[in-house]
Structure 1
């Protein structure tokens, strides 16, 4: 497959993926497509599976490239020894292992948006609750009546918290804290993101993912520590 065909395969599941990102992952040694005599990249199905492995680890576990590279090396070693079980299983958001779907026709747009009805159905939120969540800025539509994958993650998490007795108004502080943290991280990645070099912009995106992962670890540890008294531990 050409790099464009690989991008078409990945976009439905990873809508933020770009050609620059694929080139960046190649430069980092995570995938090594074959080159034609004229210099064009040619990817195999194994290369595509490897890219899915990397992108899933970044999206679902916020693993830095260093750790993903170690996971891939372990997987490669097991494959070479005749064992097929990977250390990290690249699965989709619902737990499915991504298949090898046909390459979309040239120019066919990847489906990466959800309607309001789909968002409500998949997240478990009621329509009136979604309206309130939107009013507080927790969920933001990318276009009138349309939402992205982050909106689904947020809406699903909010629905779960509400089932435990929280109210939407209790989440104002979470929104404010996230905004402050986003502003802080933006200051760190902006110098790279402003550069015209695609590799620098890809590095900015990778840095942002690592910051998000570290922030999640810190937040979870702080909440666990704060709950020890209530749990009697």
Structure 2
């Protein structure tokens, strides 16, 4: 039986790295994709030292030629996880057009291109998992991020509708606040304030999010499609406790 092949973008660190490790442990051959060559090589070396089957592919996810080259280097695509993304903090009235465009370019175009190219190569039973965010529901000081992640959720549903006749499933995982290098780039007091807002009083770990992604990327789950799975400890439920 052929070993299933999964591709993971943003795999040099954070949720992407945790997902690459989890999928490799689940029996996939994993192609770890990231634009940061040095960090990617170091992360893949750690996974290889654990006996996991992982390859590195240095890819700018906003450049179609890079994505095509990485996918065509493998015999097929069974699962694509679009985990790459950026975040930065800015108040609405201070946001610049360049900052807004960059956020949309990386978070939306950088999801669309790998997903589209993967779908072109998938057979029935293929799975695409995007990574959106609980932030898509709204928030302060990151309107551009909110807009980009809401777009990812809409894109996921649209792709699922077009690909369902081919039996390719497309779903999204929407993490709540997660302890990653991206969130740690915020000032320490901001990270602490965010963490205190979580129902459990602490951020999720990347492994928690990777578990949800791995479920949707697993063979035999293609009957689930067009869904967004919030993995946020219940914060998206809202309401007041007594």
Question: For this structure pair, what is the TM-score category when the shorter chain's length is used for normalisation?
Answer: under 0.3
Of structures 1 and 2, the larger Rg is shown by 1
- The two structures have a TM-score, normalised by structure 1, of 0.26
More strand as a share of residues: 2
**Higher helix share goes to which structure?**
1
